[in-house]
Every structure is written in C-alpha cells, then in structure tokens.
Amino acid sequence: MSKVQLPNTKLFINNEWVESISGKKFKTFNPTNEELICEVSEGDKEDVDKAVKAARNAFENGPWGTTMSSEERGRIILKLANLIENHKEKLAQLETLDNGKSIVSAREDIDFCVRVIRYFGGWADKIQGKTIPISSEFTSITKHEAIGVVALIVAWNYPVMLLCWKLGPALAAGCTIVAKSSEFTPLTALYLCELFKEAGFPPGVFNLVNGFGATVGNALSYHMDIDKISFTGSTITGRKIMEGAAKSNLKPVTLELGGKSPNIFFSDCQIDHCVEAAKDYVFSNNSQNCCFSSRFFVHESIHDAFLALFTEKIKQLKVGDPYEESNNLGPLVSKQQHDRVLGYIEKGKSEGATCHLGGVKHQIDGKGYFVQPTIFTNVTDDMTICKEEIFGPVVVILKFKTVDEVIKRANNTTYGLAAGIWTKDISLALNVSNKLKAGSVWVNNYDNCLPQVPFGGFKQSGIGRDLSEYAIQSYLSVKAVTIAHKTLHAHQQQ
Amino acid sequence: MSKVQLPNTKLFINNEWVESVSGKKLKTFNPTNGKLICEVSEGGKEDVDVAVKAARNALDNGPWGKMTAEDRGKLILKLADLVDQHREHLSDLETLDNGKPLTASSGFDITEAARALRYFGGWADKIQGKTIPISSEFTAMTKHEPIGVVGLIVAWNFPLLLLSWKLGPSLAAGCTIVAKPSEFTPLTALYFCELVKEAGFPPGVINIVNGVGDVVGDALSHHMDVDKISFTGSTRVGRLIMEAAAKSNLKPVTLELGGKSPNIIFGDCDIEYVANAAKNYVFANSMQLCCAASRFFVHESILDAFLTIFTEKIKQLKVGDPYDSETHLGPLVSKQQHDRVLGYIQKGKEEGATCHLGGEVHNHHADGAGYFIQPTIFTNVTDDMTICKEEIFGPVVVILPFKTVDEVIKRANDTTYGLAAGVWTKDISLALNVSNKLKSGSVWVNGFNILKSQIPFGGFKQSGFGRDLSEYAIQGYLSVKAVTIAHKTLHAQQQ
C-alpha cells in the first residue's frame, strides 16, 4: 500500500487555497480497503459564486483574457503538460488511492493527460476564423472568440483525465474555468491546482470547487454568469444540467454521457486476435468506462469457439491490490457503485441469463469494493443487463445471424457512444460503420482514444465532442465582422 | 567585442560531423571589422549526394518515417525549448557572423526562431486530411503525407530565423531535410545542429551542407532525389533554382525573393506617430530585409512636415558596434554587399536624385574597417530611377510624393515585385480599399514588418510563390493522396 503525500484539500480560487464558506468537509475513501483517506472542503453555492466571480474577473480584466497573446497562452499550457509529466508518479499514486484503478492504468491515464494538454497547447494560436468573400464593397471576417467562463464537471471513473480532456480545449480557446470533480475522487484535481500555479497561469483562470452534484453541480448549471457547461457523467445528471441551463441563462452544454456499446464480431475475423485484444480493453478500469463494450455480438458460426477462448482469457485477469503491478483490476470506486453492480448481476440471473463466469463479490481480507469479471450468456435484447449501463465488469455475449440483423440490434438502444467491428472484409467494415449510430466506430480495435480524434455520442449518449479540434469549437463564440467601405471610385482622398 | 565559442565547422550529416569529400574550406568573416572568424567545410556535389541519401534513408527506413505525428511534434517542441535556452550563444554567433545588432539577434532573430519552431511543433499532429462525401457506395478520404526529402536554401540576412521558418513546417509535415545556409553566415546553423542532436531527432532527419550557391545550391536544385526545394534569397538565384528543378525531376519549389515594397502615408495620418514607428522598422537589419519599406509614398499635403520629422528621427539612429546595446544599425553582411549598396547610392546621385541624408560610408573604426553605411534618404526621386526600381538591400529609402489614391495605387503596384506594402491612414474605407488593390503578399495597415509565426508570408509576382509561416507554409511540404474505396451497399453484399 502506498503512502502518498496528499494535496491541499481546500477550494482553489484565484490561485489561492480557501476554506468553503460553510466550513463543511466531506470524506473521500480508499475503495481498496474502505478506509478514510482524508476530508476535503465541501463547496456550496456561495463558493461557486466566488469562483465564478474570480473566473469572470480573470476573463474580463486579467491578463489571460486581455493582454496575453494566443501564443503565450499556448506556451503556458505546454508548460502545464510538462509539469504533469514531471509529476506523473505522484498523480498516478493519488489516482489509484482515491479511485481504485490499477497503478498501471493510472500511469497510462496520466500519460494521456500529458498528451492531451500538450496537444491543445499546440492549438492555442491556430484557432483561425475566416475571411468570407462577398463583394468589393464589403470586408467580412469571422473571429473565434473564447466563449467566456466555463464550468467543467467530471465523473469519478477517470478523474484527472476527463478534467484534462476539457481543460485542454477550454484553455486553448482562452476561456476561464470553474471545475468540479466528483466527490468520490477529488484528490488528483486538487494536486493539479498547484501545477497550474507553477505553470504560471494568472489567478482566476482555473478554479476548483469540490462538493456534491446536488449543490455545487446544481449551482454551476443554474449560474447566470457561466457561459457554458461541459459535463461527463451519467445520463440522469446530464439531463438535470441541461435543464438547469435552460432555466437559467441558456448556456450551451456539452454532455458526455453513458453508453451500452456494441462490439460486433463477424465470422471472418481472427478469433485468437480478437480475444487477445479484448482481454486488454474489455474490463479495463473495471469497465467503469463510458464507452465500455458491454454488448458482444458474435456471429453464430464462431460463437462457441469465441466464447471458449474469451472465457479462458478473462480467467487470466487478476483482481486485487491496485498497487500490485501484476493486477489488472482494482476495486470499484465506491460502496454505492459496488452495490449497484452487484444488483445488476443479481438482476441478470433472476431474469434468466446464464452467469457464465464470475458474478460474485471479491474481497481482500473481507474489505474493498471488488467484483469478479463477469460474463453473461443466453441473454435476450430486452433484459435489463442488456439495456442498462452497468458501469462495472459485466459483459453480455449475444449471437447474431445476418448483417442487417446485427445492425438493427446494435442500434436498438437509446445510447450511441461507441461501437466496434471486427472483420477482414473492407466493404463490410465500411458499410457497417456507416450504419452504426455511434460517435466512435472502431474497426479491428477498440477503445483507442487519441487526443487528435474526437470523442462523443449520438442520441442520448450526449451532445458535443471532447478531444480533437472539434472540442475547441464548443468553447468558442463566432463573431462576424462585416465592414462596408465605398469603392475607390465613390471615395475621395481629402 | 564578444569572444563567443565557435561551433563545429564540418558538415552535419546523419547526426555526425564530417569533412567535405574535397576537403575544401570556405572563410567566413566578421563584417564589423572585416576579419576572418574561421573556416568552415565547403561542401560539393558529392557531399550533397551523401546528405540526400541520409535524408532519404531517414524518411524511408528510419524511425522518423514511422514516428507518430504527436511524437514528431514533441521533438520539434523540444528543439524550440533548446533554441530558447541557447539564445545568448546563438545571438552572439549571429551578430558575429552577420553584423546585425546583438539586441536584434537576441530580441528578434533567435526569439522568433524558437517561436516559429514551437508554433509548428504544435501543428505536427493537426495536419488533417478530409473525408469527401460522394455516395453510400464509396468512401473517399485524403491523406496529407510529407512530400519527402526537401532542400532548404536560405540567405544571410536572417540566417537562423529563415532556416527555422522552413524547418518548422517541413518537420511538422514529416519531411527530412538537406539545408544549405548562406556561405556568408554559416555559424548559427552549425551550432543549431548540436541542438538537433540533443533534442533527439533521428539521424538523417536534418542535414546541413555548407558551401557556395553555385555548387551546393545547384546540386540540390538539380538533384533527382530531392522532392522539393524551398529558397529564400535573390530573384536572380530563385530563377536559377526553378530552372534547375524543371530540368531535373520537376520538384516543386517555394521561392521567397526580394521586394521593393511601397509604404503609403495618407494625408489624414498622425505624422509624429508614423515617423516614430518608421524609426523602429525602416532601417532594421540595415534594410537587409526582403520586405523593407524602401519606397515611401507620402501625400503631398504632408510631405514637407513628414520629411522634416522623419529626417529628425532617422538622425537619432546610431550606427556602430553591433555589441553595443545603443546601436541600431550594424555593418552590412559582407564587402560585396557593402560595395553594391554604395554603387546604388552613387547611381542615385548620378541620376539626379537628392541625397537628403546620409549616403556615405560610416567609419566606425579609425582604420575604416567594417562594412558600415549611414542610413540614407533620397528625395526628388522619379519612379523610373534605378534606386526606385531595384532592390538595394541596404539602408537606403526613397521619398515620393503623391496626390490621389488612384495614382498612388497605380505607382505602388508598378513594380515587378509584390512582397509587402504598408498603408497608413485613419480612414477605415481607405485602408480596406487600398489594401484590396495592392498587389502584395502582405499588407500592413498602420504597421510594418509585423511578422508572426501564425501569419503567412510570401510574395506576389516576381517576389516569389508559396508561403512561409502559418498553416499555409505546411501545404508546401505535403503531398495530398486521395483514397477512394468502393464498397457494395449492404443489400448487394452478403455476410
């Protein structure tokens, strides 16, 4: 077990650490052993107000929003990337401590944070508007301006990584930020605050208010002086945020919500290769992953062979102490989530699905929120475990016969975040990917997220995109400046 | 006078220092005192061949060609940081070899070189192709691939900066490079090579072959395995390069050539402000600057007032030791250039122009050593005079009165060049209409020489083609490949 140094646990506003106005604290736990890690300042509406005011001031009056060139902004963002890289081990240890993911996964997450921040640092001075051809008597240009003060609310599954996915484009665009991490995993975001200071960001550019969704999240959603919200988390909360935005100042929202993503294995795929790949991605982060491929559609001609091999591979995954580098799966993030997942497993069994592997609680010394990787077979499309996002290490295996059938069934969901296709046939791959209603379609790979490639959902998996140039668009306002000027013949030099 | 440590003077190929095949050396001089600085290896055709082979191998077989765009960007960003860290050393070397004031080397050249590299490092993983909508039975996409091995040939006026302007986009695009600095100013490029190694670039990605244009430049231009050439320098040499490209493998060329840029000062502007601004930019780099504002068109209603104030401002400029922080103008780069500029000044006088200010050698040293020339203003100049038509590339400006807008546009455009132009006015319609009409790659309104990594720079007409800087520069280093995949619709296809 690691003895990592904890970050400052107060609220971070105007580059300073402050207590919440109420003085309240909330507890954050180590999901590996259920022990209290520490108490963190619990923010509330008044603290949000203070943070928004700081962000607004930084945007309207501070150097960030007024005197700094986009190039200078980019330079500071690049410096932040370097600092995160320098503090990788510390951040990874904290992430594992608070979230429960394996230390190996945590390190990979921090690496990804570095890449994302560096990527967007490179965009800061490349956000180009347009000149629009009209006539010789008009000059029309667009300017891409920062949308303003933005609220970033992220979930507990990838605490600091999801924050970086949003910080990157928001900062590149020139926005100022009020962020709220999940109450389950506040520590890495707190640690990040010191790196912001060290990188040289002016006061008020990045503010962090920890607390609960019902208070802090709600205050942000309804706040009249926040120009935009970006949220990653559950669909239920996403709806509330959008409602809050509608009822307040019509702030635009970006929502990255859940999924029930199909992974389609056609008969011509190489089973060994597919299964070997699946072993790495399917239960990563304990499947606490919004684009988790929870529905495996396997062509009937290869179903039995696939299932046998897949089961063998999954049995090799080790559940245990996340600080043990040989362990693949750590605990779930919290008792609430642990209970919820176990509830779904029970539901699956009671609805008649076959629990082919796992399906039980796993504990170390009787403690920790561990669940065995679980495979269900004999599942029908209308079963709860086939329709609802479980957010735990539970996958269902489904058979299909024809291409039309599998497309229809794959799309038959309120979600539309991601999908996978495994085939050697180029026409099949392209035709099926065209038909799948998902924001990301991976062919012969899965969960390959890259800073340069957009990520977001169709249908009720969300609105807008994270990552890539696309992410920046939602942090911009487009202003068209059209100047009328008389032609030279109608104009005289005085 | 600085006692700066000199770089390795050999050729840089495959991340190694090698002698030229011939063993020849060329001399590089300190233009401040005319003394020899050192000798550097002089490359020949055989050395170019070795370098091109190294670059080709690096692209086709080395890690560079397989590296992710993101990782390439990371290396370029590291190189930018290293240039920043070595700014003092590079600035000293630049001033020593080129003669420009140390304040300019440090405050502009090296700083801007780092900024350009950093800017383009950020582009490496953002060079996006397109998906093109056709029909449900086709998937069409474009891929932007590096054009290949590129030859970069740069002039002596901004030695490291011009190299960085070209290295930035070519490296971001994923190309490999054979570069030839000017034989007058090889030292900063040589020092830079060690930073390339330290940054972690694979061998063969960046190769430097010093030598003379007739030999090394010519070999690059004619080389059958160089995929593109980018050149900054004189129009005369630009023609030779393009000819050679046509006669060899039809390699595309980007040419950044000279100019005779008009600076138009309308009657409504604030004379004091305009003259003060001009003091800072007009004689920068001793006007050894391809976009120098060498033709001042001043509205007749303000001509006398402008000339008086402008003259006063220019008299304040100090010519002298480039290491002195008070110095505005250092020496010209070489004796050849010094003689050439003096020749133009003499020609101006002979053709009847009035030498209003300067026009003489500036004797900074008691013994007359060094290639100094006083800032010079000519008046009573007609449009057909030589000093009004040809690029002087020295501290000589001509003042020309004008009456009407149409007249000044016509006269400003009446040149074979088209690199840059300035418009000074408070009237928004005038500014936009005139800038629309001017045939220049850059038009500055109420400013001049505003060069930013993010803004494209290049010329119209015979000032060149293609662009340096900005996203536009990258296009010159890319090949566009369209991949169109036919796939039967689902109904025509069976699992």
Q: How many CA atoms lie within 13 A of B185 on its CB side?
A: 27
Shortest alpha-carbon distance between residue A452 and chain B (Å): 7
Instruction: Provide, as residue numbers in chain A, all residues whose Cβ is less than 8 Å from the Cβ of B490.
Output: 403-404, 407, 431-432, 435
Each residue's pLDDT tens digit, A326-359: 999 899 999 889 998 999 998 899 999 999 999 9
**Assigned architecture for domain B11-257+463-482:** 3-Layer(aba) Sandwich (3.40)
Q: Is B133 exposed, middle or buried (0-12, 13-18, 19+ CB in 10 A)?
A: exposed
Q: Is the pLDDT of residue B86 over 90?
A: yes
Q: Smallest Cβ distance to B121: which of A122, A124, A299?
A: A122
Residue A417 tokens read as 């975040």
Among chain B residues, CA nearest to A71: B119
- B404/A contact by beta carbon, under 8 A: yes
Which residues, at least 6 apart from B445, have a Cβ–Cβ distance to it below 8 Å?
B422, B423, B424, B425, B431, B435
Shortest alpha-carbon distance between residue A486 and chain B (Å): 6
Q: Smallest Cβ distance to B125: which of A403, A430, A452?
A: A452
Q: What top-level class would CATH report for the domain B261-445?
A: alpha beta
pLDDT at A486: 64
pLDDT at A484: 86
pLDDT at B492: 62
Q: If we measure between CA atoms, which residue out of B166, B178, B170, B175 comes closest to residue B49?
A: B178
Domain ranges of chain B: 11-257+463-482, 261-445
pLDDT at A361: 77
- B492/A contact by beta carbon, under 8 A: no
Rounded percentage of chain B residues whose pLDDT exceeds 70: 98
Q: How far apart are the first and last CA of chain A?
A: 81
| Buried b or exposed e, range A412-432, using 16+ CB within 10 angstroms | ebebbbbbbbbbebebbbbbb
Q: Smallest Cβ distance to A491: which of B126, B433, B489?
A: B433
Shortest alpha-carbon distance between residue B122 and chain A (Å): 4
pLDDT at B493: 55
Collapsed DSSP state (helix, strand, coil) of residue A292 = coil
Q: If we measure between CA atoms, which residue out of A264, A273, A242 comes closest to residue A255?
A: A242
Q: Is the pLDDT of residue B495 over 50?
A: no
Q: Smallest Cβ distance to B126: which of A74, A427, A469?
A: A469
Q: Smallest Cβ distance to A431: which of B267, B404, B489?
A: B489
Each residue's pLDDT tens digit, B343-378: 999 889 999 999 999 998 887 777 788 999 989 999
HEC letters along A86-149: HCHHHHHHHHHHHHCCCHHHHHHHHHHHHHHHHHHHHHCCCCCCCEECCCCCEEEEEEEEECCE
Each residue's pLDDT tens digit, B328-348: 999 999 988 999 899 999 889
CATH classification of A262-443, choosing from 3.40.309.10, 3.40.50.1100, 3.30.70.600, 3.40.50.720? 3.40.309.10
Model confidence at B479, pLDDT cuts 50, 70, 90, reads very high
Shortest alpha-carbon distance between residue B251 and chain A (Å): 29
- Give me the mean pLDDT over the B180-184 stretch: 95
Q: Hey, which residues of B are catalytic here? A: 256
Q: Determine whether the interchain pair A125/B119 forms a contact, defined as Cβ–Cβ distance below 8 Å.
A: yes
Instruction: Provide, as residue numbers in chain B, all residues whose Cβ is less than 8 Å from the Cβ of A119.
Output: 70, 125
Q: Determine whether the interchain pair B405/A491 forms a contact, defined as Cβ–Cβ distance below 8 Å.
A: yes
Amino acid in position A231 = F
Q: Determine whether the interchain pair A491/B429 forms a contact, defined as Cβ–Cβ distance below 8 Å.
A: yes
Q: Determine whether the interchain pair B139/A430 forms a contact, defined as Cβ–Cβ distance below 8 Å.
A: yes
Instruction: Provide, as residue numbers in chain B, all residues whose Cβ is less than 8 Å from the Cβ of A407.
Output: 490
**Assigned architecture for domain A11-257+461-480:** 3-Layer(aba) Sandwich (3.40)
pLDDT at B368: 83
Instruction: Work out the number of other CB atoms within 10 angstroms of the CB of residue A250.
Output: 8
pLDDT at A493: 46
Task: Please tell me the total number of residues recorded for chain B in this structure.
Answer: 495
Q: Hey, which residues of A are catalytic here? A: 256
Instruction: Provide, as residue numbers in chain B, all residues whose Cβ is less than 8 Å from the Cβ of A111.
Output: none
Among chain A residues, CA nearest to B431: A485
Q: Smallest Cβ distance to B433: which of A115, A451, A488?
A: A488
Q: If we measure between CA atoms, which residue out of B154, B123, B157, B106 comes closest to residue B454?
A: B123
Shortest alpha-carbon distance between residue A428 and chain B (Å): 8
Among chain A residues, CA nearest to B490: A431
- B426/A contact by beta carbon, under 8 A: no
pLDDT at B259: 95
Q: Is the pLDDT of residue B149 over 70?
A: yes
Q: A363: which DSSP letter?
A: E
Q: Determine whether the interchain pair A403/B493 forms a contact, defined as Cβ–Cβ distance below 8 Å.
A: yes
Domain ranges of chain A: 11-257+461-480, 262-443
Torsion of CA A363, A368, A373, A377, to 10 degrees: 80
Among chain B residues, CA nearest to A494: B267
- B432/A contact by beta carbon, under 8 A: yes
Q: Which of A298, A427, A443, A450 to mutate to test the interface with B (most CBs of B within 10 A)?
A: A427
Over the Cα atoms of chain B, what is R_g? Answer: 24
pLDDT at B486: 87
More confident residue, A424 or B298: B298
Residues of chain A with pLDDT under 70: 1-3, 486-494
Instruction: Provide, as residue numbers in chain A, all residues whose Cβ is less than 8 Å from the Cβ of B454.
Output: 70-71, 125-126
Instruction: Provide, as residue numbers in chain A, all residues whose Cβ is less than 8 Å from the Cβ of B69.
Output: 452
Q: Smallest Cβ distance to B125: which of A119, A124, A487?
A: A119
Instruction: Provide, as residue numbers in chain B, all residues whose Cβ is less than 8 Å from the Cβ of A432.
Output: 490
Which residues, at least 6 apart from A364, have a Cβ–Cβ distance to it below 8 Å?
A32, A33, A320, A321, A370
Shortest alpha-carbon distance between residue B495 and chain A (Å): 6
Among chain B residues, CA nearest to A427: B487
Q: Determine whether the interchain pair B487/A431 forms a contact, defined as Cβ–Cβ distance below 8 Å.
A: yes
Shortest alpha-carbon distance between residue B263 and chain A (Å): 17
HEC letters along chain B: CCCCCCCCCCEEECCEEECCCCCCEEEEEECCCCEEEEEEECCCHHHHHHHHHHHHHHHHCCHHHHCCHHHHHHHHHHHHHHHHHCHHHHHHHHHHHHCCCHHHHHHHHHHHHHHHHHHHHHHHHHCCCCEECCCCCEEEEEEEEECCEEEEECCCCCHHHHHHHHHHHHHHHCCEEEEECCCCCCHHHHHHHHHHHHHCCCCCCEEECCCCHHHHHHHHHHCCCCCEEEEECCHHHHHHHHHHHHHCCCCCEEEECCCCCEEEECCCCCHHHHHHHHHHHCCHHHHCCCCCCCEEEEEHHHHHHHHHHHHHHHHCCCECCCCCCCCCECCCCCHHHHHHHHHHHHHHHHCCCEEEECCCECCCCCCCCCCCECCEEEECCCCCCHHHHCCCCCCEEEEEEECCHHHHHHHHHCCCCCCEEEEECCCHHHHHHHHHHCCCCEEEECCCCCCCCCCCECCCHHHEECCECHHHHHHCCEEEEEEEEECCCHHHCCC
Q: Which of B425, B433, B453, B455 to mutate to test the interface with A (most CBs of A within 10 A)?
A: B433
pLDDT at A136: 85
Q: Which of A404, A493, A494 to mutate to test the interface with B (most CBs of B within 10 A)?
A: A493
Instruction: Provide, as residue numbers in chain B, all residues whose Cβ is less than 8 Å from the Cβ of A431.
Output: 487-490, 493
